[in-house]
Amino acid sequence: MAPLNVVSDSLPMTIMEVASTMWMEIAMLCVAAVAYVLFTGRIPGLSPVAKKLSEDNSATEEEYVARELQTRFDAGDHRAVFKLWQRVKSFDKAPVVSLVAVVQSMSALGKNCNEVIGELKSGLECSASLSEGLDELCEVLRRDGPEDLAKAVAAMLQNNGGKSRSPISSPKVRSVVEVKRKARTEKATVDEAGEHLSGEASPDDIRKHATMIKSCGRERNLQGAVQVFNKLKQTGVHMNSMIYNCLIDACVQCGDLESATAYFDQMKKLNFVDVVSYNTILKAHLALGHFQEAHTLLQEMTACGLPANKVTYNEFLNALVIAKDRRGIWALLDDMEAAGLAPNSATCSILLKSMTAHSHSSDIERTMSFMNKTEEPMDEVLFSSVIEACIRIRRLDLLSIMMKRCAERGGLPALTAPTYGSMIKAYGQAGNVERVWALWSEMKERGVTPTAITFGCTVDSLVKNGCVEDAWALMHELLKDDTRRQLVNTVIYSTILKGFAMSKQTQRIFAVHAEMRENEVQCNTITYNTMIDACARCGSMDRVPALLEEMKKTHVEPDIITYSTLVKGYCLSGDVDRAFQVLQEMKKDGKYAADEILYNSLLDGCAKQHRVEEALQLLDEMRTNGVSPSNYTLSILVKLLGRARRLNEAFTIIDDLCGTHGFRANIHVYTCLAQACIQNRKLDRALETHNTMINEAGCQPDQKFYSALARGCLQVGAIDKVDAVVRCAYHLPGHTMATSRGAPCGVEPKVLEEIVIKLNGAGHTDKAMAAALLTDLRKHGHAGVQDNVYAKVAKDAASNERRPQRH
């Protein structure tokens, strides 16, 4: 029992000791709290930020700190601003704060330049978003100092990890600087004007002030211009038209038409207005599209005895051309003619600019007639405008007439090589080879040295018009001339190669190639592509490996056109397996992805060799690689599936591809589909396709479609359906098929003749059908069959009527 007594006696003493200790801690805490209140004047609790945030649930801590920093700065509490700045630096993404306020508060607290720079650097290192206030800070320091701090901030920015920024880099600061610069300019201008006017103004002084007003106008400084004008006016100097004209021109340049009009009215009252004044105001109205106001000014000028000059009319004319006001253009030219003013080169150039491919023929003729009324000789600039206009409107006949007329008047202007090049190209496109040669000869006679472009235009024009031998001969002519042989380059040789490729002259192609190597003319990818294409067209793919090897040796990289041409060539020659190898080689190279042209060439090769499964796999690969099939793709597949007696798949694949890739089958696809139906002895389905195409797909059949359909009916002996197809094709009565919209397209004359002869050679019923068909065709004006066929059918029909019928 003794131990129990000891424990019970010691327990109260232990509790007393613990309570005594806690009391001491509590007492010390209370003393510390009192000391805090006495020292800071605040009662412990929530921090100001937390307290404010608890009152305003909509604000984040960053937003509150930014607002509070500005508020404390406005209240002059710089110590609080500095403390809030320290808080700003602790955020992961600091809010946009006024660095001006932070720096000025630090300066007010006595911090030196190094301490301020240190704070800014630490802030920028903590959060890059603080840099948004740097432009404003730089401008304020540059303007209000202190100078050492401004220089230190600029230096700090230049060395800030390569992120240097100009003190006037932002649009806002640039605008501030521009305003201040402008204000300084205005003050300097006005001061300068005051210095000049300190004594009596002389004519030279007036001219100087006019120059200052013009300068202000060019700088868009209207206020400065007005101040110079007012200073001059206040001195009592005699104002004149020149000063007023300079001022209204400054108003126009600054976009202030209202002020310009007000000063213009003052000029009228002072009787200062002249042609220059009217032209200036008129130009302002034209720039704004105020054509009625401009026309009123034009009439007012005449009434005041100040007739408009050519400059006035040309300004007005140019504005009307830009606005495409056809009636206004010719009305103004009538007024100009009535005023006795002949058009000049500027007038003609403006008119030529208005001519387009859609211009009315009367406008074109009238414009050209204006060229004859000009009193000035035609120079190269105007003649170049004539050339460009004639090419633009595709009226080279007018260009020839104009050149002839110029020659009759005393010769053509001295044209340059580029001008000749433009004309040669235009005549080449028009197929006028004779004119191309005439221009080339004329250029030589006039001693105009052709450029590489001029020569290129000539060679290209000859090649495109089937005169490749002439082009080659011309090239050899230049090669013999040491002063011009440099004009023969890779482009010229490639153009000639293309010409021989088009005419399928393989031997010539390789002769040109050999000559290029002999003359050390570099072959490029286009050159090799042209030769490979020629080999493909001519069935000479056996010569291609040597070309590919040469490309490899000369480091000429193949492109997608090279691969596509190779595939097409091998498919045309029947070597589809080699074409597939080319595709695999291209994939392995990894530089190019197969495009639709390459896939279609391979599909066409598969179709010609009836390789259905490979073609369908190729289609899947094509779609997997994101290459969208087209109607051409669809036509190849329909032909292939039709020949393979898989007609249902042909219909399915049309619905699938059109639905997935968002396009409609065109007439070529439907023609192939109708032929596939006929091949599979499904004539009713072919006729169904015709009706579906018109009624549901909205696709209109053409002559080729009806010819294929009619010939198919003839092949299977469906005579009555042949008659229905022909009647439908010509929109004749007597059939129940869907009729296409628009004018009838009929069938090919050869097919129609074949049908009529076939019907006429059959039984009595078919002969009657042929006669009735021909009668209706003639009745509706469709004479598609030769007269002798009509006569034969008519004779047979007449003899049948006379022949007694057997019962």
CATH number at residue 688: 1.25.40.10
Q: Render 730-753 in DSSP notation, one character per residue.
A: TT-SS--SPPPSSS-----HHHHH
The C-alpha atoms of residue 698 and residue 690 are separated, in whole angstroms, by: 11
The last residue of a domain, from among 169, 189, 212: 169
Structure-model confidence comparison of residues 51 and 649, the more confident one: 649
Q: pTM higher than 0.75 for the full model?
A: no
The C-alpha atoms of residue 534 and residue 326 are separated, in whole angstroms, by: 51
Q: Kindly give the residue spans of alpha helices, DSSP state H, lying in 541-611.
A: 544-553, 560-572, 576-589, 596-608
Flag whether pLDDT at 106 surpasses 70: yes
My answer on whether 18 and 58 are in the same domain is no
Structure-model confidence comparison of residues 114 and 473, the more confident one: 473
My answer on whether 106 and 15 are in the same domain is no
User: For the residues 558-564, what does the mean pLDDT come to?
Assistant: 93
My answer on whether 76 and 22 are in the same domain is no
pLDDT of amino acid 753: 85
The C-alpha atoms of residue 302 and residue 753 are separated, in whole angstroms, by: 75
pLDDT of amino acid 143: 65
The last residue of a domain, from among 104, 139, 169: 169
User: For the residues 761-789, what does the mean pLDDT come to?
Assistant: 74
Flag whether pLDDT at 294 surpasses 50: yes
> What is the number of other CB atoms lying within 10 angstroms of the CB of residue 403?
21
The C-alpha atoms of residue 477 and residue 437 are separated, in whole angstroms, by: 14
Flag whether pLDDT at 128 surpasses 70: no
My answer on whether 40 and 144 are in the same domain is no
Which residue range forms the structural domain that includes residue 58?
48-169
pLDDT category of residue 762 using cuts at 50, 70 and 90: low
The C-alpha atoms of residue 386 and residue 350 are separated, in whole angstroms, by: 11
Q: Render 688-728 in DSSP notation, one character per residue.
A: HHHHHHHHTS-PPP-HHHHHHHHHHHHHTT-HHHHHHHHHH
- Residue 607, Cβ density class (10 Å: 0-12 exposed, 13-18 middle, ≥19 buried): buried
Of 235, 308, 236, 229, which Cα lies nearest the Cα of 263? Answer: 229
CA angle 156, 162, 163 (to 5 degrees): 70
The C-alpha atoms of residue 17 and residue 41 are separated, in whole angstroms, by: 36
Check if the beta carbon of residue 284 is closer than 8 Å to that of residue 315: no
Flag whether pLDDT at 168 surpasses 50: no
Tell me if 222 is assigned to some domain: no
pLDDT of amino acid 157: 61
My answer on whether 63 and 4 are in the same domain is no
Tell me if 218 is assigned to some domain: no
pLDDT category of residue 545 using cuts at 50, 70 and 90: very high
Q: What percent of the chain has pLDDT over 90?
A: 25
Rg (CA), the chain: 46
What is the number of alpha carbons within 13 Å of residue 592 lying toward its C-beta? 17
Question: How confident is the model over 240-283, as pLDDT tens digits?
Answer: 888 889 999 999 989 898 998 999 898 888 888 888 888 888 88
Domain count, the chain: 3
pLDDT of amino acid 177: 41
User: For the residues 157-174, what does the mean pLDDT come to?
Assistant: 44
pLDDT of amino acid 620: 94
Check if the beta carbon of residue 607 is closer than 8 Å to that of residue 636: yes
The last residue of a domain, from among 147, 169, 191: 169
The C-alpha atoms of residue 534 and residue 499 are separated, in whole angstroms, by: 10
Amino acid making up residue 786: Q
pLDDT of amino acid 51: 45
Flag whether pLDDT at 16 surpasses 90: no
The C-alpha atoms of residue 35 and residue 74 are separated, in whole angstroms, by: 31
Query: DSSP 3-state assignment of 38?
Result: helix
Lowest mean pLDDT: which of 80-84, 128-132, 529-533, 554-558?
128-132
pLDDT category of residue 760 using cuts at 50, 70 and 90: confident
Check if the beta carbon of residue 781 is closer than 8 Å to that of residue 738: no
Lowest mean pLDDT: which of 22-36, 125-139, 404-418, 691-705?
22-36
**561-592 exposure pattern, b = at least 16 Cβ within 10 A, e = fewer:** bbbbbbbbbbbbbeebebbbebbeebeeeeeb
Flag whether pLDDT at 193 surpasses 60: no
My answer on whether 14 and 140 are in the same domain is no
Question: How confident is the model over 651-680, as pLDDT tens digits?
Answer: 999 999 999 998 999 999 999 999 999 999
Tell me if 332 is assigned to some domain: no
My answer on whether 105 and 6 are in the same domain is no
The C-alpha atoms of residue 691 and residue 260 are separated, in whole angstroms, by: 71
My answer on whether 21 and 142 are in the same domain is no
My answer on whether 152 and 8 are in the same domain is no
User: For the residues 231-241, what does the mean pLDDT come to?
Assistant: 81
The C-alpha atoms of residue 694 and residue 737 are separated, in whole angstroms, by: 10
> What is the number of other CB atoms lying within 10 angstroms of the CB of residue 209?
24
My answer on whether 592 and 722 are in the same domain is yes
CATH number at residue 92: 1.25.40
Structure-model confidence comparison of residues 125 and 358, the more confident one: 358
pLDDT category of residue 579 using cuts at 50, 70 and 90: very high
Flag whether pLDDT at 170 surpasses 50: no
My answer on whether 597 and 705 are in the same domain is yes
Question: How confident is the model over 429-486, as pLDDT tens digits?
Answer: 888 899 899 889 988 888 888 999 999 999 999 999 999 999 999 999 999 988 888 8
pLDDT category of residue 393 using cuts at 50, 70 and 90: confident
Mean pLDDT of the chain: 80
My answer on whether 775 and 637 are in the same domain is yes
